[in-house]
């Protein structure tokens, strides 16, 4: 499934990133690569932006970019 389809509180593992080299490079330097684990912290209004946590770092991304990250859910959030 896509990162943008996760719910608040879910955690997941990245399986693939299908983006331009530019965006991939940016994500990589934050440690967002295939195999990293992340959790979804919050969404902004209308799911425009999404805050995720990777390796203890909080990162804000646009939903359009989150769509390009393919993930596999590990645990479901409580809410």
Partner 1 sequence: MACQSCNCSTEGDTKQGKDGAGLEAIRVVLAGQPNVGKSMLVNAMSGSGRMKVGNFSGVTVEKTEICFEHHCHQFEMVDLPGTYSINGFSKEEKVAHDYLMHESYDVIINVLDATHMQRNLLLTLELLKLNKKMVLALNMADEAAKEGIEIDVNQIEAVIGVPVILVSASTGEGVDALLDRVHEVADSRRRQHSRILYSDPVEEEIDRVAHFFDERGYSYRDLSSRELAMRTLMGDPVIYAALHDHPIMIELQPLIAASLEHIYTHHESKNMDEIKANEYTAVARGIRLETVHCKREKRRGKSLTKRIDDILINKYFGIPIFLFFMWALFQLTFTLGALPMDWIDAGFTAFGDAVGSMISHEGLRSLIVDGIIAGVGAVVLFLPNIIILYIGIALLETTGYMSRVAFLLDGFFHKFGLHGKSFIPLVTGFGCTVPAYMATRTLKSEKDRLITLFILGFMSCGARLPIYVLFAGAFFGPDQAGNVIFAIYIAGALLGLVMAKVLRVVVFKGEDEPFVMEMPKYRLPSFKLIWHTVYQQASGYLKKAGTFILVASMLIWFASTYPKVDAPSELGVNQAKLYELEHSYLGQIGHATEPFFAPLGFDWRMAVALEAGLAAKEVVVSTLGVLYAIGDEVDAESSSLITQLKANVSFASAIAFIVFVMIYLPCLAASMVFAREAGGYKYLLYLFLFTTATAWIFAFAAYHLLN
Q: How far apart are CA 15 and CA 73, in angstroms?
A: 10
| Smallest distance, partner 1 to C-beta of residue 76, A | 16
Is residue 77 a contact point for partner 1 (CB under 8 A)?
A: no
Place of tokens 């912290």: 41
* Contact with partner 1 (CB under 8 A) among 1, 13, 15, 48: 48
* DSSP result, 26-69: HHHHTT--TT-EEEEEEE-GGG-EEEEEETTEEEEEEHHHHTTE
14-33 positions binding partner 1, by CB under 8 A: 21-31, 33
Interacting residues toward partner 1 by CB under 8 A: 21-31, 33-36, 41-46, 48-49, 51, 55-62, 65
């Amino acid at each position: 499934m896509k990162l943008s389809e996760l719910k608040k509180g879910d955690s997941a593992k990245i399986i693939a990133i299908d983006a331009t080299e530019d965006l991939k490079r940016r994500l990589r330097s934050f440690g967002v690569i295939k195999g990293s684990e992340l959790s979804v912290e919050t969404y902004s209004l209308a799911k425009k932006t999404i805050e995720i946590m990777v390796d203890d770092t909080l990162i804000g991304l646009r939903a359009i970019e989150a769509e390009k990250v393919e993930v596999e859910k590990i645990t479901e959030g409580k809410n």
